[in-house]
Structure 1
Amino acid sequence: MVNADAYDRGFARLSRHAVAPLLARSRSARRLLDAGCGSGVVTEAALALGAVVTAVDADPAMVELTARRFPGAAVRRATLPELPFGDGEFDAVAGNFIINHVPDTGAALRELRRVLRPGGTLALSWWAAGEMTATAVLADAMEAAGLSSEAPPRPFAADAGPEWFAALLTETGFAGAEVESVRWRHRVDLDAWWTDVVVAGGARFGAIGRQPPEVAGRVRAHYERLAAPYARDGFPVRAHIAHARRP
């Protein structure tokens, strides 16, 4: 289980930058599903727009945190590609950095299409390959210290680009698929980023915290060296955001 509070301070703050462009085409949606809600950054923004929000996540700690923070949303545990909703139940579906984590990308997209009403909108984000410096420095620090930094295998292509994903959206029954890229600088205290990402856990960087103190210390020293050039201006980050609709 992920440490939800640490995740909220670390990765959720990073992912918050993508929320506005993610919701840009569903601002008038009445019924919105936040798929893979995490600690609720999309839920918060959609509630502020006046939507009736349903949020789901596979992690019980995330469900508990989001439900506690946003009592105006209906929050429940669910895992793609099986959602406990009827056909056409939502006007919009938004998933902020969730599609790259699902076990079957095509099946997840078909399920998201099922719960959308005809004409409903879909918006999904994922990290651009090779431009996620905020986590790359941690992976490189692990490698420099002799630890494996390989992410758990997933079917979502590591180098998935806009053309590939737009074609997959069309293949799974969506129309009008478009993908945009957004860039930002993630300005964060380097000590806090280390602490929150490692404490948050997870299969990849949580392994640092499970090492003997001397090993974790070596990783930390390499991280401080590699992250130092970004201390003033922040980590450069790029993400892709796909928009489509159910015909």
Structure 2
Amino acid sequence: MTSFDDHERARWAGQAAAFRGSFAALCAHPAGALLDAVRVRAGQRLLDVGTGTGTVAALAYARGVKVVAVDAEPSMVAATGRRIPDAEVRRATLPDLPFGDDGFDAVVANFVVNHVGDPLAAVGEMRRLARPGARVAATIWPVPAPAAQRLWTTVFTAAGVAIPDDLPRLPADRDFPRTAAGFADLLRRAGLGDVACETLFWTHRTDPEAWWSGPANGIGSPGLILQRQDAATVARVRAHYDEHVAPLLDADGRLGLPTSALLASGRA
């Protein structure tokens, strides 16, 4: 484990409910494409790494797949266990998962590789757990960030809140380019073959209060920044947030945020 991993564990502690009410719907969009990428079928055994509140695991279970799901955060494990009582749901942390080699017909990780201190080791562990010929797939957010994520930087800048320079980052020797080419290369270096990476585009539609509630509850880098502010500054940030999202609301008051993600897959 690294200091980056320690930071992630602290930031996500007890956050299952806050995540489910804010950013879970955003992260849910690629779930079907992720399962399609590993070509998992009914009756096969799938490992969902970093399951969160169980979105991908639940979709796989609905397709008749035998689901094993793991997450480092106990509140996420509990949430997924309640959501899919018949699945095997365990607490476990990349890059050291408690399973033998070659035990799964497919392995997926939805927005997990961007939350680990050693991405190459994490993908390598996923490859270890997939049987020979099985597929492994993962999603991450790209850099430059899509509009949905850039909104927070825009709001903080408008409110006069400086983006701190001490936000946790991976050391250069463990990081990788968050581009389609860079993500594909990470999978190849981890030992996967037949690697492909695509960019998914969609407009995330959500209640503006739900989108605010994620950072307001301390989730993600925007949450860390917001928690460092005094009450008056938080109120100013909220005023600028309301101003910036107003043009993005539809007739029903729903927020429409263009976004994208990278989905990479390869064969073990």
User: Structure 2 length normalisation: TM-score?
Assistant: 0.85
Question: Per-residue deviation at 1:101?
Answer: 1.2
SS at match of 1:221: helix
For structure 1, the 5+ residue unaligned runs are none
- Deviating 4+ runs (over 6 angstroms): none
Which stretch of the first structure deviates more once superposed, 18-27 or 113-122?
18-27
Alignment of 1:63-142 (within 5 A): 63-142=77-156
For structure 2, the 5+ residue unaligned runs are 1-12
Question: Per-residue deviation at 1:222?
Answer: 1.5
In structure 2, give the amino acid aligned to 1:22. L
Question: Per-residue deviation at 1:118?
Answer: 0.4
Question: Per-residue deviation at 1:5?
Answer: 1.2
Question: Per-residue deviation at 1:209?
Answer: 4.5
* Kept in 2: contact 1:131–1:236 (CA 8 A): no
In structure 1, give the amino acid aligned to 2:105. D
Which stretch of the first structure deviates more once superposed, 124-133 or 202-211?
202-211
The aligned counterpart of 1:178 is: 196
SS at match of 2:113: coil
Asked if residue 3 in structure 1 is aligned to residue 23 in structure 2, the reply is no
| Whole-angstrom CA distance in 2 between matches of 1:169 and 1:53 | 23
| Whole-angstrom CA distance in 2 between matches of 1:152 and 1:38 | 21
* Kept in 2: contact 1:35–1:93 (CA 8 A): yes
Distance 1:201 1:244, change over 3 A: same
The aligned counterpart of 2:181 is: 163
* Kept in 1: contact 2:214–2:223 (CA 8 A): no
Which stretch of the first structure deviates more once superposed, 189-198 or 233-242?
189-198
| Whole-angstrom CA distance in 1 between matches of 2:204 and 2:55 | 16
Alignment of 1:1-247 (within 5 A): 1-25=13-37, 26-28=39-41, 30-149=44-163, 151-154=167-170, 155-157=174-176, 159-199=177-217, 201-202=219-220, 204-209=222-227, 211-232=229-250, 234-246=256-268
| Whole-angstrom CA distance in 2 between matches of 1:197 and 1:215 | 14
Question: Per-residue deviation at 1:198?
Answer: 2.0
| Whole-angstrom CA distance in 2 between matches of 1:97 and 1:149 | 23
Q: Provide, for residues 105-142 of structure 1, a one-character-per-residue CA deviation record: whole Å limited to 9, x for no partner.
A: 11111111111110111110111223432232123222
Distance 1:19 1:153, change over 3 A: same
Question: Per-residue deviation at 1:148?
Answer: 4.1
* Kept in 1: contact 2:69–2:89 (CA 8 A): yes
* Kept in 2: contact 1:32–1:90 (CA 8 A): yes
SS at match of 1:241: strand
| Whole-angstrom CA distance in 2 between matches of 1:38 and 1:68 | 12
User: Structure 1 length normalisation: TM-score?
Assistant: 0.91
* Kept in 2: contact 1:22–1:124 (CA 8 A): yes
* Kept in 1: contact 2:215–2:222 (CA 8 A): no
* Kept in 2: contact 1:93–1:122 (CA 8 A): yes
| Whole-angstrom CA distance in 2 between matches of 1:131 and 1:202 | 14
The aligned counterpart of 2:7 is: none
Which stretch of the first structure deviates more once superposed, 90-99 or 232-241?
232-241
In structure 2, give the amino acid aligned to 1:223. Y
Identity of aligned residues (%): 40
Distance 1:7 1:234, change over 3 A: same
SS at match of 2:206: coil
Q: Provide, for residues 38-75 of structure 1, a one-character-per-residue CA deviation record: whole Å limited to 9, x for no partner.
A: 11110111101111111111111111111111111111
Which stretch of the first structure deviates more once superposed, 215-224 or 130-139?
130-139
Count the aligned residue pairs: 245
* Kept in 1: contact 2:187–2:265 (CA 8 A): no
SS at match of 1:86: coil
